[in-house]
Amino acid sequence: MFKELDPILHSQLRLAIISLLISVKEAEFTFLREKTKATAGNLSVQINKLKEAGYLDVVKKFHNNYPQTICKISPKGIEAFDKYVTALKTYMHPGQQS
């Protein structure tokens, strides 16, 4: 039985953002842009979608007079990522169910 994949996470850029944030404490927008090689506009839109879903905490502040956007995965985001990976496994190994 295939589990349904979370539509919020089953999008290339949003999944990339969550995958990057899962292994760090927090990261700046510039870090995410460098690693995903996405355009600033597109990245910003996808971060907002993840934020609206409650998967990310986003803090905007000023550092050395420059605006800074810091993103951090939320506990809800960690849970969603965990569920997404579990669902993925059912596609990879259809015989195994968790």
Partner 1 sequence: MTEQENFSPEESLQLIQTMIAKTRKDLGNNSTHFLLWGWVTFVACTGQFILKHLMNYEKHYLVWLLVFPASLASIYLGITENKKKVVSSYVGDSMKHLWLGMGISYFVLSIILSQLGWNTNIFPFFILLYGLGTFVSGMFLQFKPMVLGGSVAWILAIMAGNFNYDYQMLFGAVAILISYIIPAYILRSKNKIATK
Q: Output the smallest distance, CB 92 to partner 1, in A.
A: 6
Smallest distance from partner 1 to CB 28, Å: 4
Applying the rule CB under 8 A, the residues between 67 and 86 that interact with partner 1 are 84-85
CA–CA distance, 74 with 42 (Å, rounded to integer): 21
In angstroms, how far is CA 19 from the centroid of its own chain? 6
Among 5, 53, 58, 78, the residue binding partner 1 under the rule CB under 8 A is: 5
65 near partner 1, judged by CB under 8 A: no
Crossing angle for the helix pair 12-22 and 75-92, to the nearest 10 degrees:
120
